[in-house]
Amino acid sequence: MSRVLIIGAGGVAGVVVKKCAMLPEYFSEIHLASRTVSKCEKLQQEVGSDRVVGVYSVDADNANEVAELIRKVEPSLVINVALPYQDLPIMDACLETGVHYLDTANYEPKDEAKFEYSWQWAYQERFKEKGIMALLGAGFDPGVTNVYTAYAAKHYFDEIHYLDIVDCNGGDHGQAFATNFNPEINIREITQKGKYWENGEWHETAPISVRKDLDYPNVGVRPSYLLFHEELESLVKHFPTLKRARFWMTFGDAYLNHLRVLEGIGMTSIEPIDFQGQKIAPLEFLKAVLPNPGSLAEGYTGKTCIGTYVTGIKDGKEKTIFIYNNCDHAVCNAEVGAQAVSYTTGVPAMIGASMMLQGHWMKPGVWNMEQFDPDEFMERLNKYGLPWHVVECESPFKE
Ligand code: NDP
């Protein structure tokens, strides 16, 4: 019996629910809970109550409430696709009830943007002692990019030295300004300082200040900016031969202009202000006026290209490979009614869950994706909608 409890009912959750529903051989029974139960009910109607058999309202900031729900549902695994703020209460509930855990983004305290694993790694011993497993960051980036790196290290190199993860959205949703996943989390991520790993230490850069024009397969040349992304932290820890590790994301000029104006007038701040007798974080308010990322799917055209450049040594010679996926917004919409950013996150979460439930990836403790053998996961990417390619190439990062 592989009963799962999915928490969250937003853009990514919609994809996880629909992909899990297509695979009764992995997920015999699906239960869905979120803050707003009507969103769970809508998803249940879409996939059928024979696949999503129970829907519930839960405040996942409250570990006791989640634990109570887990006791009622008795799942083998909780798939957390709510927001990063809920990671620790849900992990606490899993510990209390002895149930496995998976998420797609590292824990974030509401009042400071950190993007680090320290809080969740601190659960390692407790998860081990309880005999349960947590799989962290099982989306695309983090997630697939970690597995790409492990796959490169296993099959293509004796030692890996340079890593550049590149994330391009070459799509067009026709909106003046919108984010492709939860706006609050996305804008927190982009407006923080850039950070990369080189020669054994972290180096900081001003936000969106380092640019490189990169040529993405099936998309073309796009301005790409150095950002900090959480998988860098786990990858440099687990691949200590890395001399440098960086992350790049594409942004168009119009997007950056909007972002600069919003930042300039304080709308991206997470510091609560007094508004009509209420405390409100400007970024939370901004989220309320921006388009819901889930609503972008209809009419979204173009492709994403996310991948990992790895340079290292094989048989005494230096070489570079690029492992990547292209994902087409319209194709995702036709399949599951979602845009490609939700799709590229939801599919790996489903695959990660299947890997755990079937015992391919199962050991007590708290783990990042690159700590497991990548081969079966890579096969499932091809099988379930995110085919990948490997090319040997000149590194575009040789300065
Ligand atoms: P959405 O904002 O669309 O959905 C979040 C969902 O979580 C909503 O249904 C929301 O409920 C629910 N939720 C929020 N707070 C609570 C709470 N306290 N209790 C219960 N449910 C709650 O976000 P996305 O679907 O875009 O993103 C989901 C996750 O995926 C995020 O953690 C994001 O960082 C991560 N992500 C990871 C990526 C990767 O590649 N690794 C890429 C993109 C996203 P309500 O509907 O009531 O607001």
Q: Which domain holds residue 130?
A: 3-136
Q: How far is the CA of 106 from the centre of ligand 1 (A)?
A: 12
Best CA proximity match to 293, nearest among 323, 269, 329: 329
Q: How far is the CA of 13 from the centre of ligand 1 (A)?
A: 7
Q: What is the DSSP letter of 172?
A: B
pLDDT top residue among 368 and 399: 368
- Any domain includes 195: yes
pLDDT of 4 reads: 98
The tokens for 265 are 């007038």
Q: Is the CB of 385 under 6 A from ligand 1?
A: no
Q: Is the CB of 184 under 6 A from ligand 1?
A: no
Same domain (yes/no): 130, 188: no
pLDDT of 112 reads: 81
Same domain (yes/no): 81, 171: no
Q: Where are the beta strands (DSSP E) in the chain?
A: 3-7, 29-34, 52-57, 77-80, 100-103, 133-136, 159-169, 194-198, 201-205, 211-216, 220-227, 244-250, 273-275, 278-280, 303-314, 317-328, 365-368, 389-393
φ, ψ for residue 102, nearest 5 deg? -145, 140
φ, ψ for residue 33, nearest 5 deg? -135, 145
Q: Is the CB of 355 under 6 A from ligand 1?
A: no
User: Which of 41, 83, 167, 342 for a ligand 1 pocket mutation test, highest count of atoms within 8 Å of Cβ?
Assistant: 83
Q: Is the CB of 41 under 6 A from ligand 1?
A: no
Same domain (yes/no): 154, 121: no
pLDDT of 312 reads: 98
CATH number for the domain that contains residue 8: 3.40.50.720
Indicate whether 350 pLDDT > 70.
yes
What's the pLDDT band for 399 if we cut at 50, 70, 90?
low
Q: Is the CB of 36 under 6 A from ligand 1?
A: yes
- Residue 364 to residue 331: CA distance in whole angstroms: 37
364: CB partners within 8 A, 6+ apart:
127, 128, 129, 130, 131, 132, 133
Indicate whether 388 pLDDT > 70.
yes
CATH number for the domain that contains residue 247: 3.30.360.10
Best CA proximity match to 128, nearest among 90, 108, 100, 170: 100
Same domain (yes/no): 64, 97: yes
pLDDT top residue among 80 and 1: 80
- Residue 362 to residue 78: CA distance in whole angstroms: 14
Same domain (yes/no): 128, 171: no
What's the pLDDT band for 113 if we cut at 50, 70, 90?
confident
The tokens for 35 are 């803050």
Nearest CA to ligand 1 atom 32: 83
The arithmetic mean of pLDDT across residues 33-56, rounded, is 98
Best CA proximity match to 363, nearest among 207, 152, 162, 130: 130
pLDDT digits (tens, 9 = 90+) for 295-343: 999 999 999 999 999 999 999 999 999 999 999 999 999 999 999 999 9
Same domain (yes/no): 154, 118: no
Q: Is the CB of 250 under 6 A from ligand 1?
A: no
pLDDT of 131 reads: 98
Q: What is the DSSP letter of 209?
A: -
- Any domain includes 34: yes
What's the distance, CA 373 to chain centroid?
A: 19
* Average model confidence (pLDDT) across the chain: 96
pLDDT of 184 reads: 86
Q: Is the CB of 15 under 6 A from ligand 1?
A: no
Best CA proximity match to 222, nearest among 300, 159, 150, 304: 304
pLDDT of 398 reads: 78
- Any domain includes 253: yes
Same domain (yes/no): 322, 216: yes
| Amino acid (1-letter code) at residue 172 | D
pLDDT of 23 reads: 98
Q: How far is the CA of 109 from the centre of ligand 1 (A)?
A: 15
Q: Which residues of 154-190 are buried (b: 16+ CB within 10 A; e: fewer)?
A: eebbeebbbbbbbbbbbbebeeeebbbbbbbbbbbbb
Q: How far is the CA of 385 from the centre of ligand 1 (A)?
A: 22
Q: Is the CB of 61 under 6 A from ligand 1?
A: yes
Percent of the chain with pLDDT over 90: 93
Three-state secondary structure of 72-126: HHCCCEEEECCCHHHHHHHHHHHHHHCCEEEECCCCCCCCCCCCCCHHHHCCHHH
User: Which of 35, 102, 327, 351 for a ligand 1 pocket mutation test, highest count of atoms within 8 Å of Cβ?
Assistant: 35
Indicate whether 1 pLDDT > 90.
no
Q: How far is the CA of 37 from the centre of ligand 1 (A)?
A: 14
Same domain (yes/no): 195, 322: yes
pLDDT digits (tens, 9 = 90+) for 155-200: 999 999 999 999 999 999 999 899 998 888 889 888 999 999 999 9
The arithmetic mean of pLDDT across residues 66-74, rounded, is 98
Report the domain count for the chain.
2
Q: Is the CB of 58 under 6 A from ligand 1?
A: yes
Q: How far is the CA of 198 from the centre of ligand 1 (A)?
A: 32
Q: SS3 of 305, please? A: strand
Q: Is the CB of 12 under 6 A from ligand 1?
A: yes
Same domain (yes/no): 232, 184: yes
Same domain (yes/no): 110, 199: no
